[in-house]
């Protein structure tokens, strides 16, 4: 009964304290998750009706200077073939995406020094000039504040940088010593102050994660109030130190999507590819738990397999149009409609 009353409280006030989140995360069961999902969907519909926003994802480089223990494209993975798209290839992905009706492009990649501020600003401003009606989202990891500012001035509107975990000790268990939780948090703060629409997020079931850590994540999100939040299950990759770790829970990911919708009813909340990888209907179920964004892949088919963050990632063989059509059909099957819209955070 306590869990239900906490969900009711969240539904009414959109916040809880840390110990209540902990209790929620330790004691919930599947009927509580269904209860939370029903409330989350009411909030999603009140802000977005049955509209689902699409973001065209362009994975423009799998070269990375970092060695995050969970990530399939980490520097230490000697097995993968590395690639980086040219500006022409990126522009051609945008052209294709625009024709398919996408009005947001997400440029995501490893931390690849070749994409200096100068080169990145060149690409961002070329997209901005050619597609003034589109939003440009970047997800290229940690950069200096000055670099974020230059990219913003060149025309980028949004930045996705998952905080990965709001607990500094847990962060150390997922990353090598060269990376710090404090710097990650500073980056999020800088992005916010510069004026980006900011997305944070975390993996569900990352190694060593405990309900206490997730409670911390929820408190952080409640306080930081990001415009977007990307969560998906951790899935092991065979060429990482976490190869033998179990994948995150599908049910818990859905429950957390509902909780996030209740914390911030207007949140831009993707139903992620990782969720679709651990369950064939994961992305539909994510929407039915409260998510309102899908991110079809626009990367050239020949490089898709090389951006394998985790094993068995779906959609690595499809053309962009197939990905778009597939998601459209999936969304229609649950009574939702994929829209051609920049899909800004409400109030922007």
Ramachandran bin of 201, using left for φ above 0, alpha for ψ from -120 to 50, beta for the remaining angles: left
Q: Check residue 110 for interaction with ligand SAM (CB under 6 A).
A: yes
Task: Return the exposure string of 118-134: e unless at least 16 CB atoms fall within 10 Å of the residue's CB, then b.
Answer: eebbebbbbbeeebeeb
Bridge partners of residue 138, in order along the sequence: 107, 159
HSE-CB at 72 with a 13 A cutoff on CA atoms is: 18
Vertex 115, ends 309 and 160: CA angle to 5°?
Answer: 50
The full length of the chain comes to 348
Q: Is residue 309 within the footprint of ligand SAM (CB under 6 A)?
A: yes
Q: Closest distance between ligand SAM and the C-beta of residue 253, in Å?
A: 11
Closer to ligand FES by CB, 101 or 176: give it. 176
Name the binder of 16 from ligand FES, ligand SAM, none, CB < 5-8 A by kind. none
State the nearest-atom distance from the C-beta of 110 to ligand SAM, in Å: 5
Element housing 115 (H / E): none
> Which CB atom, from 137 or from 149, has the smaller least distance to ligand SAM?
137
Q: How far is the CB of 146 from ligand SAM (least distance, A)?
A: 18
Say which entry of ligand FES, ligand SAM, none residue 237 contacts (CB below 5 to 8 A, set by partner kind).
ligand SAM
User: Which region, judged by CB under 6 A, interacts with ligand SAM, from 17-25, 139-147, 190-198, 333-341?
Assistant: 139-147
**Site for ligand SAM (CB under 6 A): which residue of 97, 234, 263, 275?**
234
The H-or-E segment that residue 221 falls in is: helix 211-224
Residue 57 has φ and ψ, to the nearest 5°, of -90, 120
If one asks whether residue 276 binds ligand SAM (CB under 6 A), the answer comes out as no
**Residues of the shown chain interacting with ligand FES in the complex, contacts defined by CB under 6 A:** 64, 66, 68, 71, 73-74, 110-111
Per partner kind, with CB cut-offs from 5 to 8 A, the member of ligand SAM, ligand FES, none near residue 307 is none
Q: Does 162 bind ligand SAM (CB under 6 A)?
A: yes
Closer residue to ligand SAM (CB): 164 or 216: 164
275 near ligand SAM (CB under 6 A) = no
Calpha distance 294→271 (Å, rounded): 6
Q: Give the Cα separation of 107 and 13 in Å (integer).
A: 35
Which one of residues 108, 165, 253, 299 is an interface residue with ligand SAM (CB under 6 A)? 108
- Does 282 interact with ligand SAM (rule: CB under 6 A)? no
Q: Which is nearer to ligand FES, 71 or 85 (CB)?
A: 71
d(CA 267, CA 172): 28
Taking the least distance from each CB to ligand SAM, the nearer of 42 and 80 is 80
Q: Are 105 and 136 in contact (CB under 8 A)?
A: yes
Which of ligand SAM, ligand FES, none is residue 152 near (CB under 5 to 8 Å by kind)? none
CA distance readout (Å), 189 to 169, 199, 259: 20, 11, 23
Whether 46 and 39 have beta carbons less than 8 Å apart is answered as: no
Beta bridge partners of 311: none
Sequence-distant (6+) residues with CB within 8 A of 334 are 284, 287, 288
Task: Name the binder of 74 from ligand SAM, ligand FES, none, CB < 5-8 A by kind.
Answer: ligand FES
Q: What is the distance of C-alpha 119 from the center of its chain?
A: 24
Contact between 52 and 292 under an 8 Å Cβ cutoff? The reply is: yes
Site for ligand SAM in 45-104 (CB under 6 A): 70-71
For position 159 contacting ligand SAM by CB under 6 A, the verdict is no
Binding partner of residue 108 among ligand FES, ligand SAM, none, CB cut-off 5 to 8 Å per kind: ligand SAM
Between 110 and 155, whose beta carbon lies closer to ligand SAM?
110
CB 128 to ligand FES: min, Å:
25
Burial (0-12, 13-18, 19+ Cβ within 10 Å), 250: middle
Q: Give me the residues that bind ligand SAM (CB under 6 A), please.
A: 70-71, 108, 110-111, 139-141, 161-162, 164, 203, 232, 234-235, 237, 274, 309-310
């Amino acid at each position: 009964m306590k869990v239900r009353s906490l969900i009711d409280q969240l539904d009414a006030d959109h916040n809880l304290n840390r110990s209540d989140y902990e209790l929620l995360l330790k004691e919930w069961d599947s009927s509580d998750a269904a209860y939370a999902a029903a409330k989350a969907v009411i909030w999603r519909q009140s802000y977005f009706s049955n509209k689902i926003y699409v973001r065209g994802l362009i994975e423009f480089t799998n070269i990375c200077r970092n060695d995050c223990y969970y990530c399939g494209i980490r520097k230490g993975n000697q097995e993968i073939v590395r690639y980086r798209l040219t500006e022409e290839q990126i522009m051609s992905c945008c052209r294709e995406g625009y024709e398919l009706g996408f009005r947001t492009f997400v440029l995501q990649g490893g931390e690849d020094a070749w994409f200096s501020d100068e080169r990145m600003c060149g690409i961002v401003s070329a997209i901005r000039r050619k597609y003034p009606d589109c939003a440009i989202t970047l997800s290229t990891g940690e950069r200096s504040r000055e670099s974020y500012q230059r990219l913003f001035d060149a025309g980028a509107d949004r930045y996705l940088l998952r905080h990965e975990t709001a607990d500094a000790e847990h962060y150390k268990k997922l990353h090598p010593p060269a990376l710090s939780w404090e710097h990650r948090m500073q980056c999020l703060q800088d992005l916010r102050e510069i004026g980006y629409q900011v997305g944070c997020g975390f993996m569900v079931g990352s190694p060593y994660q405990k309900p206490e850590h997730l409670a911390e994540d929820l408190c952080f999100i409640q306080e930081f109030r990001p415009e977007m939040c990307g969560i998906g299950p951790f899935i092991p990759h065979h060429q990482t130190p976490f190869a033998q770790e179990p994948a995150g829970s599908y049910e818990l990911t859905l429950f957390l999507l509902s909780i996030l919708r209740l914390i911030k009813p207007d949140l831009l909340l993707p139903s992620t590819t990782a969720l679709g990888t651990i369950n064939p209907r994961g992305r539909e179920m994510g929407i039915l738990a409260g998510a309102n964004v899908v991110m079809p892949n626009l990367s050239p088919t020949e490089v898709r397999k090389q951006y394998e963050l985790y094993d068995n990632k779906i959609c690595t063989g499809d053309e962009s149009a197939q990905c778009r059509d597939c998601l459209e059909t999936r969304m229609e099957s649950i009574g939702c409609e994929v829209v051609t819209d920049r899909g800004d955070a409400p109030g922007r």
